[in-house]
Amino acid sequence: MRLCAVSVDLDEIPNYFGIHGLGEPQGPARTLVYDVALDRLASMAAELSVPLTLFAIGSDLSRERAAAGLKAACDRGFEVANHSLDHRYDLARLAPDEMRRQVTEGASAIERATGIAPVGFRAPGYTVTDELLAVVSEAGALYDSSVFPCPAYFAAKTAKIAAIALLGRTSRSIVDTPSVLRAPTRPYRIGRPYWKRGNGLLELPIQVTRGLRLPFFGTSLTLAAPSMGRSLARGCIGEPLVNLELHGIDVLDEHDGLQALAKHQPDVRVGHEKKMSRLRAAVGELAGAGYTFVTLREAARAFQDAA
């Protein structure tokens, strides 16, 4: 089986300011993901004939334009999945009742906007615990897609949080347990702890390459030269599921109104057209290798018997 799912986390711009410990952005920059990126993603997806899976944050949908954009994407055949109510980076550390509320009200907001109850979940910052995954499972999810067993990403994230602290700012992002690096890299049923196999919720891990387990996701693909992106893609070919994860910001750049963020995030300094052509090259490599593009919901059905 060769399936590829391309998913996009629709984290709005204030989340990135929070990661870097910066104050809240003002004006139109606050909503660039829904107001600008969503259309770019839809046209790229149409061009590539790829059905996207969009992970939406429930509280963003109280804005009418965001809810309407998501509904239009859903009508186009995209899947909309749950990225929690408020995208709290410390979701996995909240008290049980609040954790449950964040998961269930995120799902309800999506259902109100699209008319369809989401079946998939992705945790903010990829940080999960057994407690959070139990809540996700009890809420009736068909799959979770948060585990990212990538040593390079783990090291970079930990270093980034430390560097921000050295600058006297506090990142809203949190350091995860390194045990996540022991998790399987292919679809599996979670055990306890969640990085071991068991017979619990179906986990569709975020993609890493074979061997070095390099990150095959939007940030690495948009920053890398096309030849490097294609080589990362080739490092995934042969995997039964390639779970390529992007963010809305992957198709935005500083000229969209993100000058304040460009200083802190090198990917924002790369023009969005260049980034989109890099993403197309990586997806093209997989298409050329015979991959069929599906939503994560379809992938979850195909892998529901995973051990």
- Interface contacts to Zn ion, rule CB under 5 A: 9, 11, 124
Query: Which of 9, 250 has the CB closer to Zn ion?
Result: 9
DSSP 8-state assignment for residue 176: P
Contact 5, 244 (CB under 8 A): yes
Question: Rounded to the nearest 5°, which phi and psi values hold at 212?
Answer: -70, -10
- CA 256, CA 83: separation in Å to the nearest integer? 24
Among the listed residues 286, 149, 281, the one whose alpha carbon sits nearest the alpha carbon of residue 224? 281
- CA 21, CA 15: separation in Å to the nearest integer? 10
Query: Which of 124, 218 has the CB closer to Zn ion?
Result: 124
Give the list of residues 6+ apart from residue 245 with CB closer than 8 angstroms, or none: 7, 8, 9, 145, 206, 207, 217, 218
**Residue with structure tokens 């186009």?**
76
Query: Which of 3, 70 has the CB closer to Zn ion?
Result: 70
Query: Which of 11, 203 has the CB closer to Zn ion?
Result: 11
Query: Which of 106, 235 has the CB closer to Zn ion?
Result: 106
Which residue, judged by CB position, is nearest to Zn ion in the bound state?
A: 11
Nearest distance, CB of residue 238 and Zn ion, angstroms? 28
Tokens of 256: 């969209």
Nearest distance, CB of residue 81 and Zn ion, angstroms? 12
Among the listed residues 209, 202, 192, the one whose alpha carbon sits nearest the alpha carbon of residue 303? 202
Nearest distance, CB of residue 124 and Zn ion, angstroms? 5
Nearest distance, CB of residue 148 and Zn ion, angstroms? 12
Contact 42, 76 (CB under 8 A): yes
Length of the chain: 307
Partnered with residue 242 across adjacent β-strands are 4
Query: Which of 36, 237 has the CB closer to Zn ion?
Result: 36
Query: Which of 9, 256 has the CB closer to Zn ion?
Result: 9
Cβ atoms < 10 Å from Cβ of 254: 17
